[in-house]
């Protein structure tokens, strides 16, 4: 190494430099703006905690409802098919009453198999014992007293022993054949319905009977599925025939089998026997079926105008859970919570310029450029329902969780009288940045229109206006021009200059799922 | 030689402000000296120093503990200065080429003992800062950092021979300016 170079190095080491605390202060400010600092990563965690809380909360509500209302499905079934449900008497006495009123002089006692007499069963022609639970549960016990009157005794009824039940099988029913049991089905084809009841095997148990009933008709299935009560009826019912009386299965009978709905239609209101229904199923909501709580989850896109980049729209995504209570046919209120993420260089720039004088004037600094904001949203709306159309108005409050952006380092030079300018900028880092300059709570007024696509899905279009904007400073027509300020600038400056480059309104659309 | 406690580095990685402050304090003086060599005034040096420190703290996790921390940090700070210089180089060259045309190239022999007694570090720094920026950078990289012409050329985006010429020019001018007659002339003018 050259001796001069050695001397130069020795002299450079002797420089008189002292530590400057002000330099640290300046540096720590830059350090605070550094993206990706541990402190700024927390909002990301909050998002997941919030989402998890929403999911767990919604799940808990459903679980609680299911626990408290185990028969809710039956209630819905009954309430939506009101006449069906009303047509289901549950007790023998009620059935009798219904029969007495509708059977025009044919006492139920006669129809319902008095013991030790000629045993008949229930007519399925729809003329008697309509709507009786017993009748439905013992559809197979085909043998109408009405039919039996003008026919040979052997053809009058299906004879079954006490404790047994003669059933019409599906096939037999289709062929208008009557059988007294499972095996009778097989014999029926050979004997053309003339089957000796004595040859019928006794059904092994009530469950088997029930199974046969279930297979008979869809509408019956509703009743059978309602509870084990049907089984009980079979066991205790007098709907049994005395097999010893020697009744035989009749020839093919012209039995009109009505659907449950049709039968129910025929039943007058006076026959609506609800007391036992109430005992075996949850309370039927007769009035105000619309009243109650509902849960909605929505996800949607939002669009914001970009003032600083022409007419370009910036976008956002939002997801939310809404709990809705409907207190009137046309009115409901909803509130919820969710997350809103919006992208775009929407303002809140923070500049930390520093002027340096060498042979020329140089401005160097850091520019904090936010690119996305994450909010927790709490909407509260009042909804007006008109058929499939819903109009909502309300307030949405946004709570700032964090700002993401980038830290740009720039350098601008101007050479006094010369027009030569140079501007250099490069991104130092990206990530969560200091959110000073942004409002932590932003209220919005919202108006939206929703269209119900089907029972669960709806699509909505909304507009929102925020009175204060998302940043503290108002939008300025004259955006701070770095080059301009350099020309007329002071010797040195530092600090933050937040300004807003976004408008106060936004539009959006969302897809909503109702549980 | 500056030795940094590894626990301080770990604290800085965790984002602990006290550890960052300690590291900043420990490295400030030597790194500031380096920055002053490469820059034309103390404000610019301070700006580059903080910029370099910012990069050091940002990329602290990438330092694997191999070698001295100070050497690693110093290299980052120098690279930061060189990056800044390269960005503004076009303009500055234009300015300084004009100055260069006014310079009279002559070679002088300097009595280093005499210069050592008469010139302190600050005076020498003033002289160095009068050098054309490119020449000053190249000379510092060559004389202080011990880099070879090829490395300097790659770093600054110039040819190896150009780097060599800059070192020669810088050395010649420094000798010229610290020559007794030159100093005497400046004092008289002052």
**What's the CA gap between B126 and A145, in Å, rounded?**
128
Domain boundary among B28, B55, B87: B87
Residues A265 and A311 in one domain: no
Residues B38 and B101 in one domain: no
Residues A417 and A472 in one domain: yes
Decide if A61 is inside a domain. yes
**What's the CA gap between A212 and A230, in Å, rounded?**
12
What was the ipTM of the complex prediction?
0.83
The candidate with the shortest Cα–Cα distance to B23, out of B55, B53, B67, is B53
Cβ atoms of B75 and A54 closer than 8 Å: no
Neighbour tally for A248: CB within 10 Å: 23
Question: What DSSP string runs through B56-82?
Answer: HHHTGGG--S-S-HHHHHHHHHHHHHH
Residues B77 and B109 in one domain: no
A388 contact partners, CB below 8 Å, separation of at least 6: A451, A452
Cβ atoms of A373 and A433 closer than 8 Å: no
Identify any residues that bridge with A332 across adjacent strands, giving them in sequence order.
A326, A383
Decide if B1 is inside a domain. no
**What's the CA gap between A92 and A279, in Å, rounded?**
15
From chain B, the residues in CB contact with A8 under 8 A are 124, 143-144, 174
CB-count exposure of residue A412 (10 Å: 0-12, 13-18, 19+): buried
Residues B36 and B82 in one domain: yes
From chain A, the residues in CB contact with B55 under 8 A are 428
What is the pLDDT, as a whole number, of residue A252?
55
Domain boundary among B66, B87, B108: B87
Decide if A423 is inside a domain. yes
State CA B166 to chain mean position distance.
Answer: 14
What is the pLDDT, as a whole number, of residue A394?
93
Count of domains forming chain A: 2
Contact across the interface for A28 and B17, Cβ inside 8 Å = yes
Residues B10 and B76 in one domain: yes
Of A11, A19, A492, the CB nearest to B29: A19
What is the pLDDT, as a whole number, of residue B44?
87
Q: Does the CB of A419 have a partner CB in chain B at under 8 Å?
A: no
The candidate with the shortest Cα–Cα distance to A510, out of A475, A472, A466, A458, is A458
For residue A122, CA distances in Å to A108, A237, B16 come to 9, 12, 88
Contact across the interface for B44 and A358, Cβ inside 8 Å = yes
CATH at residue B130: 1.10.10
Residue B14's pLDDT band (boundaries 50, 70, 90)? confident
Query: Which of A:58-117 have CB within 8 Å of B?
Result: none
What is the pLDDT, as a whole number, of residue A448?
92
Arithmetic mean of pLDDT, B95-102: 44
Mutate to test the interface with A, among B15, B167, B178 (most CBs of A within 10 A): B15
The candidate with the shortest Cα–Cα distance to A508, out of A446, A453, A440, is A446
**Does residue B6 have a pLDDT over 50?**
yes
Cβ atoms of A121 and A138 closer than 8 Å: yes
Residues B96 and B82 in one domain: no
What is the pLDDT, as a whole number, of residue A415?
56
Residues B177 and B152 in one domain: yes
Domain boundary among B87, B107, B132: B87
Residues B82 and B97 in one domain: no
Residues A259 and A325 in one domain: no
Decide if A318 is inside a domain. yes
Query: Which of A:354-383 have CB within 8 Å of B?
Result: 354, 356-360, 362, 364
Distance from CA of B33 to the nearest CA of A (A): 7
Decide if A355 is inside a domain. yes
Decide if B49 is inside a domain. yes
Neighbour tally for A467: CB within 10 Å: 9
Decide if B29 is inside a domain. yes
> In this structure, what token pair is assigned to residue A121?
């069963």
CATH at residue B58: 1.10.1740.10
CB-count exposure of residue A491 (10 Å: 0-12, 13-18, 19+): exposed
For residue A255, CA distances in Å to A122, A134, A201, A251 come to 11, 18, 23, 12
Mutate to test the interface with A, among B14, B30, B40 (most CBs of A within 10 A): B40
**What's the CA gap between A514 and A97, in Å, rounded?**
43
Q: Does the CB of A199 have a partner CB in chain B at under 8 Å?
A: no
Decide if A15 is inside a domain. no
Residues A238 and A143 in one domain: yes
Residues B155 and B96 in one domain: yes
Identify any residues that bridge with A384 across adjacent strands, giving them in sequence order.
A331, A391
**What's the CA gap between A112 and B189, in Å, rounded?**
136
Residues A449 and A347 in one domain: yes
**What's the CA gap between A24 and A453, in Å, rounded?**
61
pLDDT: which is higher, B77 or A266: B77
Phi-psi region of B41 (alpha: psi -120 to 50; beta: other; left: phi over 0): beta
* Domain membership of residue A194 as a residue range: 87-280
Cβ atoms of A494 and A26 closer than 8 Å: yes
From chain B, the residues in CB contact with A354 under 8 A are 43, 47
Q: Does the CB of A7 have a partner CB in chain B at under 8 Å?
A: yes
Domain boundary among A280, A314, A341: A280
Q: What is the mean pLDDT of each run of 10 residues along chain A (515 residues)?
A: 83 85 84 60 64 77 70 46 44 46 44 43 42 44 43 44 43 45 46 43 46 43 42 44 47 57 56 56 58 87 63 74 88 91 64 64 74 88 90 91 80 61 70 77 91 89 85 50 42 40 75 87
Residues B80 and B102 in one domain: no
3-state DSSP of A309-346: HCCCEEEEEEEEEEEEEECCCCEEEEEEEEEEEEECCC
From chain B, the residues in CB contact with A490 under 8 A are none
Residues A453 and A321 in one domain: yes
Residues A305 and A247 in one domain: no
> In this structure, what token pair is assigned to residue A222?
């509703």
Cβ atoms of A240 and A162 closer than 8 Å: yes
Decide if A285 is inside a domain. no
Residues A344 and A441 in one domain: yes
Residues A347 and A258 in one domain: no
Count of domains forming chain B: 2
Cβ atoms of A473 and A498 closer than 8 Å: yes
Of B21, B36, B51, the CB nearest to A24: B21
Residues B114 and B176 in one domain: yes
* Domain membership of residue B153 as a residue range: 89-189
**What's the CA gap between B55 and B81, in Å, rounded?**
12
Residues B93 and B185 in one domain: yes
Domain boundary among A249, A280, A311: A280
Decide if A53 is inside a domain. yes
From chain B, the residues in CB contact with A424 under 8 A are 87-88
Percentages (nearest 5) of helix, strand, coil residues in chain A? 35, 30, 35
Residues A220 and A318 in one domain: no
Q: Which residue of A has its CA nearest to B44?
A: A356
Decide if B162 is inside a domain. yes
Residues A125 and A243 in one domain: yes
Domain boundary among A280, A313, A337: A280
Contact across the interface for A27 and B142, Cβ inside 8 Å = no
**Does residue B18 have a pLDDT over 80?**
yes
Contact across the interface for A413 and B91, Cβ inside 8 Å = yes
Residues A139 and A260 in one domain: yes
Residues B34 and B103 in one domain: no
pTM of the model: 0.40
Decide if A34 is inside a domain. no
A10 contact partners, CB below 8 Å, separation of at least 6: none
CB-count exposure of residue A461 (10 Å: 0-12, 13-18, 19+): middle
The candidate with the shortest Cα–Cα distance to A203, out of A240, A153, A249, is A240
Decide if B175 is inside a domain. yes
Task: Count CB pairs under 8 A between chains A and B.
Answer: 130
Of A4, A8, A27, the CB nearest to B50: A27
3-state DSSP of A12-55: HHCCCCCCCHHHHHHHHHHHHCCCCCHHHHHHHHHHHHHHHHHH
């Amino acid at each position: 190494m050259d001796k001069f170079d050695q001397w130069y190095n020795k002299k450079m080491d002797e420089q008189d430099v002292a530590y400057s605390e002000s330099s640290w202060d300046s540096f720590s400010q830059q350090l605070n703006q550094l993206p990706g600092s541990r402190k700024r990563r927390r909002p990301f965690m909050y998002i997941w905690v919030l989402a998890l809380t929403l999911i767990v909360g919604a799940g808990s509500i459903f679980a609680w409802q299911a626990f408290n209302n185990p028969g809710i499905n039956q209630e819905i079934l009954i309430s939506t098919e009101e006449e069906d449900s009303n047509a289901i008497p549950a007790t023998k006495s009620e059935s009798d009453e219904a029969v007495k009123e509708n059977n025009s002089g044919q006492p139920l006692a006669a129809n319902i198999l008095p013991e030790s007499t000629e045993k008949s069963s229930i007519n399925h022609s729809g003329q008697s014992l309509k709507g009786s639970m017993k009748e439905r549960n013992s559809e197979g016990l085909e043998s109408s007293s009405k039919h039996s009157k003008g026919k040979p005794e052997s053809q009058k009824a299906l004879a079954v022993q006490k404790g047994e039940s003669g059933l019409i099988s599906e096939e037999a029913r289709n062929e208008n054949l009557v059988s007294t049991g499972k095996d009778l089905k097989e014999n029926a084809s050979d004997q053309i319905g003339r089957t000796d009841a004595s040859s019928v095997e006794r059904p092994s148990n009530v469950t088997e009977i029930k199974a046969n009933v279930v297979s008979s008709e869809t509408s019956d299935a509703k009743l059978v599925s309602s509870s084990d009560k049907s089984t009980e009826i079979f066991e205790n019912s007098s709907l049994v025939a005395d097999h010893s009386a020697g009744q035989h299965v009749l020839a093919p009978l012209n039995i009109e089998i009505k659907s449950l709905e049709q039968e129910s239609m025929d039943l007058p209101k006076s026959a609506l026997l609800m007391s036992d229904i109430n005992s075996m199923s949850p309370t039927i909501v007769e009035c105000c079926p619309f009243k109650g709580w509902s849960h909605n989850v929505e996800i949607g896109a939002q669009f914001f105008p970009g003032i600083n980049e022409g007419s370009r729209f910036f976008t956002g995504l939002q997801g939310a859970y809404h709990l809705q209570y409907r207190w009137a046919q046309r009115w409901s209120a909803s509130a919820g919570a969710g997350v809103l993420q919006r992208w775009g260089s929407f303002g809140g720039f923070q500049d930390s310029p520093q002027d340096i004088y060498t042979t020329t004037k140089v401005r160097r600094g850091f520019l904090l450029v936010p690119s996305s904001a994450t909010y927790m949203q709490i909407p509260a709306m009042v909804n007006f329902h008109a058929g499939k159309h819903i109009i909502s108005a309300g307030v949405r409050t946004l709570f700032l969780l964090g700002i993401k952006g980038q830290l740009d380092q720039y350098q601008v030079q101007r050479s006094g009288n010369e027009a030569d300018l140079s501007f250099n900028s490069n991104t130092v880092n990206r990530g969560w940045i200091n959110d000073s300059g942004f409002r932590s709570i932003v209220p919005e007024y919202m108006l939206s229109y929703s269209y119900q696509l089907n029972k669960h899905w709806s699509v909505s279009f909304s507009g929102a206006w925020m009175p204060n904007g998302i940043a503290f400073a108002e939008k300025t027509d004259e955006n701070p021009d770095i080059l301009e300020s350099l020309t007329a600038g002071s010797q040195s400056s530092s600090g933050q200059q937040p300004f807003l480059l976004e408008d106060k309104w936004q539009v959006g659309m969302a897809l909503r799922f109702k549980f | 030689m500056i030795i940094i406690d590894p626990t301080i580095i770990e604290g800085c990685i965790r984002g602990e402000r006290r550890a960052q402050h300690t590291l900043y304090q420990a490295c400030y003086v030597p790194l500031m000296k380096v920055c002053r060599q490469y820059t034309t005034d103390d404000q610019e040096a301070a700006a580059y120093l903080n910029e370099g420190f910012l990069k050091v703290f940002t990329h602290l996790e990438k330092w694997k503990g191999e070698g001295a921390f100070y050497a690693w940090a110093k290299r980052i700070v120098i690279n930061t200065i060189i990056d800044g210089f390269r960005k503004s180089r076009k303009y500055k060259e234009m300015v300084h080429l004009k100055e260069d045309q006014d310079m009279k190239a002559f070679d002088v022999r300097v009595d280093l003992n005499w210069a050592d007694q008469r010139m302190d570090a600050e005076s020498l720094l003033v002289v160095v800062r009068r050098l054309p920026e490119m020449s000053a950078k190249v000379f510092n990289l060559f004389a202080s950092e011990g880099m070879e012409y090829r490395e300097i050329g790659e770093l600054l985006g110039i040819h190896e021979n150009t780097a060599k010429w800059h070192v020669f020019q810088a050395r010649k001018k420094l000798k010229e300016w610290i020559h007794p007659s030159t100093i005497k002339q400046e004092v008289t003018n002052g």
